[in-house]
């Protein structure tokens, strides 16, 4: 089970006995995966109506962030033609 991809991706090596740095790296990895938020949410009962609202908000946020990332990538691309050739 320890060779499973989910566990290998979350494995942090302690270098030179520096446990604090390794703990910070592990916390960052778990925060990016959303594990810490899931554990925090499951600590208490979440009403079904609140769960629906949270899931809808997260879905809207994903769509908004994807659209903004697409727009920024479109504007920041390097192969754009100059819109004002004669100026």
**How far, in Å, are 39, 57, 63, 71, 76 from residue 67 at the CA level?**
29, 15, 6, 6, 14
Kindly report which listed range (6-10, 61-65, 69-73) carries the lowest average pLDDT score.
6-10
11 three-state secondary structure: coil
| pLDDT tens, residue by residue, 16-64 | 989 999 999 988 888 888 888 888 888 999 999 999 999 999 999 999 9
Which pair of tokens denotes residue 3?
A: 């060779």
């Amino acid at each position: 089970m320890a060779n499973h991809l989910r566990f290998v991706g979350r494995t942090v090596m302690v270098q030179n006995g520096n446990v604090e740095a390794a703990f910070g790296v592990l916390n960052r990895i778990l925060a990016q995966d959303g594990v810490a938020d899931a554990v925090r949410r499951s600590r208490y009962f979440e009403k079904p109506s609140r769960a629906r609202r949270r899931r809808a908000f997260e879905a809207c946020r994903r769509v908004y962030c994807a659209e903004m990332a697409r727009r920024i990538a479109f504007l920041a691309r390097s192969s754009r033609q100059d819109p004002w050739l004669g100026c």
